[in-house]
A and B are shown apart, each in its own frame.
Chain A
Amino acid sequence: MISFVIKRLLLLLPVFLVVSMVIFMIVHLVPGDPIDNIVQVGSTPEQKAALVASYGLDKPLLTQYAIWFGKMLQGDLGEAIILRQPVSSLIAQNLPHSLALGTLALLFSTVIGIGTGTLAAIYKDSMIDRTVMTLILLGSTVPSFWLGLLMILLFAVQLGWFPVSGARSWSAIVLPVLTIGIGGLALVARVTRVAMIDVSRKDFVTMLHAKGVPSRQIQISHVLRHALLPVITILSLRIGWILGGAVTIEYVFARPGLGSLLITSLNQRDYPVVQGCLLMLSIAVMLGTLLGDILQAAMDPRIREGMN
């Protein structure tokens, strides 16, 4: 198992290299630059060139990338040009909020999604199955922006249970978590349902029934365990979706987070901050995928053996 983990970690290195290069290039190729936001209007080309040089933006792109990458390996993500703070401090201020929101939303999607999918599979083709799947489908097709505003209207304005926005108390995270979580649980529920139905048809399950094991016990202790494998794959892929969706939710709920920081810095073309945020998001996705692979390997020896 340890060798499996080490091999997977080593595989991440070239991925990280490519991702960092793509991030860097894309940010610099988008029209507009941070110097436009700070250079004096009417400045001569020479004055602008001096300002560009002072931020190292006059060097060839590959050289700039190499400098940035080298500093990044030492933990230095550079200095924000417009926001005038170390990028690492800006990220440190905002990352915990994104992690909290993302983790709780993922947890919500997982628990509720697996629960409802299991329920739907156990009561397959019944009214319960159809009702549950319809409600989930409705929740997942509503755009997250609109769902967030609906949540605010119902739970914050009408019922007064939660604050409308911000991050000043623990209760302020509930509605954003629900908004992202509801959007994500449909896929988890459907995959769980399909996987459980598929596993239920396997011979070993028939044998368990023949041996007189109670049906509930078979479903929960045996079928679900096997059905979780594809669910874990889906969940690890959802991490990127959840982090991406968090950008909209942070906007609607006026919450701090990497998404808000990314939008603010993108609008001002603050390259170092944009690069830092995208890098953090990419790392989160990579680590999430790695975690999914490790969990799958832990649950399925065939995967470990195949890797070895």
Chain B
Amino acid sequence: MNFLTNRTNQIKAVTMKHTLKRAFLTFGLASLLVTGALAQNATFVMPARDVGAPNYDPIRGTRLNAATTLIYDRMVIQDADQSFHGQLAVSWQAAPDGMSWVFKLRPNVKFHDGEPFNARTIAWWVPKFKGTENSFMTDAIDKVEIVDDLTVKFVMKNPDPNMLFNMASSFMGVPSPKAYDAAGDKYGVTSAVGTGPFKLVSFVVGQQTVLARNDAYNSGSALSENKGPARIRNLTIREIAEDSTAFLELKTGGVDMLLSVPTDFLPRLKAEKGTRVVTLPGRELFYMPINTSVEPFTDIRVREATALAINQKEILANLFAGVGAEANNFLISSLLESRVDPKFNISYNAARARKLLDDAGWVAAADGSRSKAGTKLQVKLWTQNGTEFKRITEVVQAQLKAVGIGADITVFDAATITAQYRKRTEHQLAVRSYTWANADILDWFFSGKRLGHPNHSMWNDPRAEVLNEKAMKGSRTWDERVANFKAYHEYVLSQFVFAPIYQPVQNFAFSEAKLSVPARVRGTAMQSQTVLDISVK
């Protein structure tokens, strides 16, 4: 009996041991899984200027945010060296006369709702832009022909060597036709269906976007080492308008990456242990449009004097600690069209500015102010809300005063200032910026068809219109386009319709303890091509 009892007890002990072992193993595995799952989650913070973007509708939306390229793939994407790489398109060919483009599409691509991506999608998509704010992207396309299931041909109204740049825009993300038509006006708010590496889970305007990995994704471009699916499983993108709060969230580990960092914060971020800052070439340019239709700026000498009064070097050194670059013309320096004849570049020259004002009859008084026929040289200087704008504007005011131009600053919010510009004659000078990496920005801001806004210089010059038309529609090839835009750009510069100020760079910062980011970041901005390669440690 003792033997039996002992044996039974031994069996029970062994059984218990095995049961416990299994339990521990199961628990351990479960913990690993949970930890693994948690480890694949990341939280980013959107750039402050993207906060409040109202929807994810790339066709009708006028304002999109940084998460858009994670939801929608585009036909092509652009690298920092201006080269283009296929994403939804694997190859393309433009006819020698520029009157057609043939795109071969990537096979086996599905939208997040399971619908197939093919030539019919593109045939549906291009006409959708008509009548929208973004129609200029596709205006040159007369019609889309379906060659076969994975080949489309764009028949053009006129050559458009800029086609690839437009196709690479965030606004050219391709949505699912089924989802788009079904949601109607609500598309982009309650749903947003693309082919991108992430699916939209939820979106609360002004608060956050929650994305989940598209496990079927395999359309990574040549700019990504990982072709898909993404390494991050769940990605939350928070909207934090206050830069200090965003910085403190990164510092405390509340978030893992800031998609944009103000220049002010760079020294502090660089000093933070465990935080890395990455810099990309900038796509933004600060400038001061000069209203050529109102006095005293109808006189080109006064305009030139105003432009030459701006000390770009001083602004770069004192406001931005040397981070970024001076702007000496209207285009960001990475563009070929910005490399104009140096004699056209606009740089600080206070002595010449004063001489020009003297020649224009603006007599300097003992206190440095100027007047002409009893009228003081005192102008309006507008700017919009925002720390950078206000600081630059204050320095510009001081620099104008140094040559004898008095300026009264008025600060507006973005919506009000646009309404004021549309009045056309209320403004004289303004400090503004744009973010765009293409020379057609010259057309946007200086075409006579857009007086008031966005042509804040109110410039309507017949020769400029001819040069613009030739650059925008008369170029058959990319090289021709560059040459034509250079010519247009040089003419714009020669008329002193604006003063260039500053070119910021793009900075983003992340926690090295949490994320692994490729050493070399490709593309023109922190977008899907890089996020695909980011993993959570």
Contacts and interface: CB of A to CB of B under 8 A. Distances in A.
A24 interface: no
A165 B62 CA distance: 28
A93 B189 CA distance: 14
A31 interface: yes
B206 A261 contact: yes
Interface in A242-275: 251-254, 256, 260-261, 263-264, 266-269
Contact of A254 (B190, B205, B239, B449): B239
Interface stretch (A36-44, A116-124, A230-238): A36-44
Interface stretch (A153-161, A186-194, A213-221, A297-305): A153-161
Interface residues of A, number: 40
A33 B420 CA distance: 11
Interface stretch (B146-154, B390-398, B411-419): B411-419
B133 A40 contact: yes
A251 B242 contact: yes
Contact of B207 (A31, A42, A153, A256): A256
Contact of A149 (B244, B416, B418, B422): B244
Contacts of A166: 238, 254
Contacts of A254: 207, 238-242, 245
Contacts of B131: 40
A253 B418 contact: no
Interface in B410-447: 413-416, 418-420, 422
A36 B415 contact: yes
Interface in B60-97: 62
A41 B450 contact: yes
Contacts of B239: 254
Binding site secondary structure of chain B: loop
Contacts of B188: 84
Contact of A37 (B55, B206, B415, B454): B415
B185 interface: yes
Interface residues of B, number: 42
B449 A42 contact: yes
The listed residue with most B CB atoms (<10 A of its CB), out of A85, A149, A153, is A85
Given A83-B205, A254-B241, A36 B418 contact: yes
A166 B207 CA distance: 8
Interface in A78-97: 82-85, 90, 93
Interface string A25-49: 0000011110011111110000000
B185 A84 contact: yes
B245 A32 contact: no
A38 B254 contact: no
Contact of B419 (A31, A40, A85, A260): A31
A183 interface: no
A286 interface: no
16 contacts: A30-B416, A36-B418, A36-B419, A41-B133, A42-B450, A82-B54, A84-B185, A85-B189, A163-B254, A164-B249, A165-B248, A165-B249, A254-B238, A256-B207, A260-B206, A261-B205
Interface of B: 51-52, 54-55, 62, 131-133, 135, 185-186, 188-190, 204-207, 238-242, 244-245, 248-249, 251-252, 254, 413-416, 418-420, 422, 449-450, 453-454
The 6 A-B residue pairs whose C-beta atoms are closest, nearest first, are: A32-B419, A32-B415, A254-B240, A264-B52, A31-B419, A164-B249
Given A36-B419, A39-B133, A41-B450, 19 more contacts: A30-B416, A31-B416, A32-B416, A36-B415, A38-B62, A38-B133, A40-B133, A41-B453, A84-B188, A85-B190, A164-B245, A165-B248, A166-B238, A166-B254, A254-B238, A256-B206, A261-B206, A267-B52, A268-B52
